[in-house]
Structure 1
C-alpha cells in the first residue's frame, strides 16, 4: 500500500454576511469562498500497528483526538472497519487560527487521501457529508475553487473561477477568538449587509473590479475596533493600489487583491515593516 501525499489549500472569504442567529446558537451565513495557492502538506502512510500517529512541524498543535486530522482518520477507520494503522505527517504552512480554514483543509485532505489509500471509491458528495460532521468548512475544503456558502457553511453552490490576480495575505501576530467575534456581533445594529448576490453576478460576468467592489465582511464591525492592526494592514494594501482589501473569516488575516505584482510586492514589504512578526505571503487563486 503506497504513501499518499496531498496539498491542503487555504481559503479566503471574498464576502461574508451573517444572516441570523439560530435558536441553537449557530449563525446562518452567506459567503463567497475562494481557494488560494497557500497550502499545508498531508502525508499518509499505512503502518502495521492499529493506531493513528500524527507528527507535525508545529510543537503547539495537538496530535491526538483534538486534531481534526486525527478525527478524520478515526471516522474513516470506524465507518469502513479498517484495521490498518496510520502514520500522518502534517507539514503546516497555513497560519493557524487565522480565518484561512487551515485545520479544515487538513481534515479534508485526510478524508480524500484515505479514500484513495484504501480504494474506498467514495464520491465527493459522500466525503463532504462525512466532512460536515467534523467542521462546517470541511465540505468546502473538499470541493475547493469558488463557491457560494450558505446555512452554517454546509450548503455549497459551485461558481465559475474568479479572474486571476495577485493576492497578498497578511496574518498579524495576534489571536482572534471566533467565539468572541460572533458573540459580540450586533446583527440588529448593522447598517448594511454585503451584496453577496451582486458578487455572485460579478463572478459570472468574470469582472474582477465588480467583485472587488463588493468585498465586505460584517465580522470586521467587531474585529477592527478591538484589533486596530487589522484596519492598519487593510490601509497598507489599499495605499499600495490594492483593488480592495478585506479580513478573511473571523480574522485576523487580511488579504488584498492586486493587478500589478510590483504593487503587491510593495505592500508585502510594508506589511513586514509594520511588524516583522507578521506572516506575509504573496499568492494567487487556486481553481480546479
Structure 2
C-alpha cells in the first residue's frame, strides 16, 4: 500500500471534572467525550528513496500546529518508528479544519490518525491495544480520538469506558479569537479554589435514558470559569447560544470553544448567524461514532 487517506474527528466534552493531581503533576479527570462530525483530513504516502524521514505539508500553510519537532503528528511518527525498530519514511498532507487552541482535540485527532495511517501504510499490524499504548504517550486525549464515539474518560483520559450513542442532536460551535494554553489553565486551577459540579454522572444517566433535554441541562466543565477569566467571550458566547435557543451550553476541554446543543439544525445554524456570534462561528455538527475513519 503506497497511500492512506483518513478523516480525524474533533471532539467535545459533555462534562469535564478535575478529580485530583498525580505525583507527577498531571491532573486526573472524569469526562464524557463525544466525537463530532468536524474533522481534519490526512494523507500518508511512503517516501522511500526520496531521502526523507518525515515531511509534513499543511493546508492552510499557516495553520498553527505547535513547534515543528513537537506537534502530535511528528510525535506519533517518532513513537511508531520506535515501536517498529526502524525509520518509516513518510510524507503527510494535512487539511486542517479543526481550529487550534479550542479544546476540540484537533491535534490529538491528527496524532491518532497518524498512528492508524502508519500502521496501515507499512503493514505493521498494530493491534488496538498496541495503538492505545502508543497513543497515551502522544497525548492525553489521543487514546479517545483513536477510538472515538461516546466514552467516559478517567485518569488523564487514557481509561476509557464506552457509552451508548447520545440522542440525535446538533452541536453549534463558536470560538473566540483568543486561545488558551491548557498548561496555563491548569496552573491557574492549582492556585485557585474551583467549584466541582459533578456533571459526568448526570450526563451519563441522560445518555443512557436517551433524553436530549436531560443531556443538554447536564453538560458542564469545571475549567470554564478559569478560562473565562482570561477570555470573557467564553461566557458571552454561552449566553448568546442560550438566548438563540440552545437547550444547553458548555465549554469544551480547556477552551476556548463553546458549544450549544440544539434539537433542530435550522435553529442551530441561525444561532451562529446572530450578531453576538458574528465571526466566531466554527459550524454546526452532529455526534460521530468514530474517531479515525477512511476517506
TM-score by length of 1: 0.94
Q: 1:79 to 1:268 in 2, by over 3 A?
A: same
Distance 1:63 1:251 in 2: 20
Pick aligned residue for 1:177 from 167, 172, 181: 181
Distance 1:213 1:185 in 2: 25
Distance 1:281 1:187 in 2: 34
RMSD: 1.8
Tell me how far 1:26 sits from its aligned partner.
Answer: 1.1
Alignment of 1:111-122 (within 5 A): 111-122=115-126
Pick aligned residue for 1:244 from 230, 245, 248: 248
Tell me how far 1:25 sits from its aligned partner.
Answer: 1.5
2:293 paired residue number:
none
Whether 1:103 and 2:97 are equivalent positions in the alignment is: no
Distance 2:262 2:197 in 1: 24
- Between 1:168-177 and 1:78-87, the stretch displaced more is 78-87
1:284 paired residue number:
286
Distance 1:16 1:62 in 2: 24
3-state DSSP class of the match of 1:120? coil
Tell me how far 1:118 sits from its aligned partner.
Answer: 1.5
1:167 paired residue number:
171
Whether 1:255 and 2:239 are equivalent positions in the alignment is: no
1:139 paired residue number:
143
Alignment of 1:1-288 (within 5 A): 1-48=1-48, 49-57=51-59, 58-59=61-62, 60-61=64-65, 64-185=68-189, 189-270=193-274, 273-274=275-276, 276-288=278-290
Encode CA deviations 1:25-80: one digit per residue, 9 max, x unaligned: 21111000000000001100001235111111232435732221011112212221
Q: With CA pairs under 8 Å and 6+ residues apart, which has the higher RCO, 1 or 2?
A: 2
CA contact (8 A) 1:53 1:87 kept: yes
What runs of 5+ residues in structure 2 fail to find an aligned partner?
Answer: 291-295
CA contact (8 A) 1:53 1:63 kept: no
TM-score by length of 2: 0.91
- Between 1:105-114 and 1:75-84, the stretch displaced more is 75-84
What is the aligned residue count?
A: 286
Tell me how far 1:195 sits from its aligned partner.
Answer: 3.0
Tell me how far 1:9 sits from its aligned partner.
Answer: 0.5
3-state DSSP class of the match of 1:211? helix
After TM superposition, the runs of 4+ consecutive aligned structure 1 residues lying more than 6 A away are: none
Distance 1:186 1:50 in 2: 43
Distance 1:88 1:140 in 2: 22
